[in-house]
Structure formats: structure tokens, C-alpha cells
A and B are shown apart, each in its own frame.
Chain A
Amino acid sequence: MGIVTRWIRRYVTVYGIIMLCTFLMCLLFNPAAELPVVTFFGRIMMFALIALLSLSVYSSRDELTVKAWWVRTLLHLLLLEAVLLPLAHFWGFWQGGRDILIYALFILLAKALWHLVDYSLNARTAAQINERIRKKRLERRTGEE
């Protein structure tokens, strides 16, 4: 898969996760909310772009150790909260003290969902590889017999 395709796929995934979180947030805390379609979708697209760019926190010339990965994950979360919360406030997505807490929690939820999606994709890849290894082993055993 090309690097461009990979990043487009990531962007779509991030966008989908943000939309899902927004839906849940509105459903739970403001079901009567009315949103201007074009502005709202445009802002969500901007959120997704920022979230995607912030993934550069993970870029490294060396492979990350487990500890380094956790440190960067924490940094990434702080960066997302530091950038998205003021922006969301500027766009009027939250106002009061309770809202900021809910919003911060949903950013955390979105990040957890991102890692869950990523893990599921890797689990699928691992299953494909294991299936192929199993088949090859079976072929070899049959060949030997």
C-alpha cells in the first residue's frame, strides 16, 4: 500500500471516529442540538486533519521501544487536548466547566478508539499471516508423507 493511500485511509478512519464520538456526545448530552451542515462538517474535517498531523508525535528515526511508545501516546493525548479543546471552544462546541470535562473525555475516547481500530487491523494481518504459515506447514507435511 502506498504512503498516500495509507494516510488517506488514516484520515477517513480519524474522521469516522470523530463523527462517531460527536454523535454519541450529542446523543447523551445535547440530543436537541441543531448544527449547520456545511460549517459543522467542515470543522470536523479540520479536527480530523489536526488529529492526523498530530500523529507525527510517533515519528522516529529509530524504532520505538514499548516505553517510548507509551510516553509518546501520553504526549499525543496531551497535544490533542491542548489543541482541540481551545479550537472546539472557539467554534462554540463547548462553553462551561462541565462541557470541557465531557469534551476532554470524548477526545480520550476517540484516541482509544483509534488504537482499537489500529489493533484490529493488525490482528487481522496477523491472522492472515498465521493462516498462511499453517497452510504451508500442512503442505510441507503432506509433501513429506
Chain B
Amino acid sequence: MRVSIEQIDRQGEEELIVRCHDPGAAWVEIVREAASGLQTVCCWQEDMLRRLKLSDVFYFEVVDERSFVYTQTEVFEAKEKLYEFEGLCAGSALFRCSKSMILNAEKIDYVRPSLSGWFEAVLSNGEKVVVSRKYVADLKRMLGVQG
């Protein structure tokens, strides 16, 4: 595999592009994890500013125009809007799973369908979240599921 590294000036935004045959391949996952491990998000918990690694985030959710960041056991509040989170998460394991939520695919234990067309994702901490049918294709693409 060819590895290209291009040095850019300080003004340019650093970017990682992965060209691969299988987006779900193990090495792509490693790159994705490393990249999201480097990325952080600032959030608040009882007037204390905390910096969280993206890889520790289970999901982002917007409720009544307030943004929340959920980790395994804690909930934080953030200033960013959902589309800002979406930009921040591009290329990572986080994907839009519904109109108001961005979910970390790495934290999904399993998914199950519902009669109403939704998918329910059970996370590794036992929490259950809804994945809208509209966004299931993104999850499949991210995991490298064919068809």
C-alpha cells in the first residue's frame, strides 16, 4: 500500500483522506480510531469545561435546541449545533442516526428492527437509541456491509 504524506502550511486545515476498497477493513478502522482519538470536543458539566476525545463519545443529541454529549456513564452539555458536530465527526466512526442524533458506530453492540421501520441500536453500555431507516444506509456503508 502506498502512503502519501503532504506537508501543508500552518494556515491550511489538516486533513486525512483514506482511499480504500473496503471502508470496514480493519486497517481503516485503526486509522479512524486514531483520527477520532486525536479529535476532541469541548463540553460543559456543572460549569466545568471538559475536553472529550471523540472516540469516548457514545452519541450527540439535540433536545429543545440544547446539545448534549453522552459518554459511557456521563452526560455533558455542548455549545455546538448538530451540523457542527457532523462536520467535526466527518471521517470518524460517528454518523447521523436520526434527525437529532449523531451516534458512534463503534459503541453499537447490536441493532434490531422494529415494526415501525426504525432500527433500535443497543449500545455497549446497555443504552438503546433509535436509528432512523433513512440513515441505516450510512451505517451500512461505514461498516462495509454490502447491498
- Chain A residues with CB under 8 Å of chain B are 1, 62-64, 66, 69-70, 115, 118-119, 122-123, 125-126, 128-130, 132-133, 136, 139-140, 143
Interface residues on B, range: 20 to 34
- Chain B residues with CB under 8 Å of chain A are 24, 26, 29, 98-99, 108-117, 119, 130, 132-133, 136-137, 139-140, 143-147
What would be 5 A-B contacts, judged by CB atoms less than 8 Å apart? Answer: A66-B116, A119-B113, A129-B111, A129-B143, A132-B24
Q: Which of A1, A64, A125, A133 contacts B116 (CB 8 A)?
A: A64
A133 touches B117 (CB 8 A): no
A-side interface mostly: helix
Given contacts A1-B137, A130-B111, A136-B26, 12 further A-B contacts (CB under 8 A): A63-B98, A64-B116, A122-B133, A125-B113, A125-B119, A126-B110, A129-B111, A129-B140, A132-B144, A133-B110, A136-B143, A140-B26
- Shortest Cβ-Cβ A-B pairs, 7 listed: A122-B113, A69-B116, A132-B143, A130-B110, A126-B111, A126-B113, A128-B145
A118 touches B117 (CB 8 A): yes
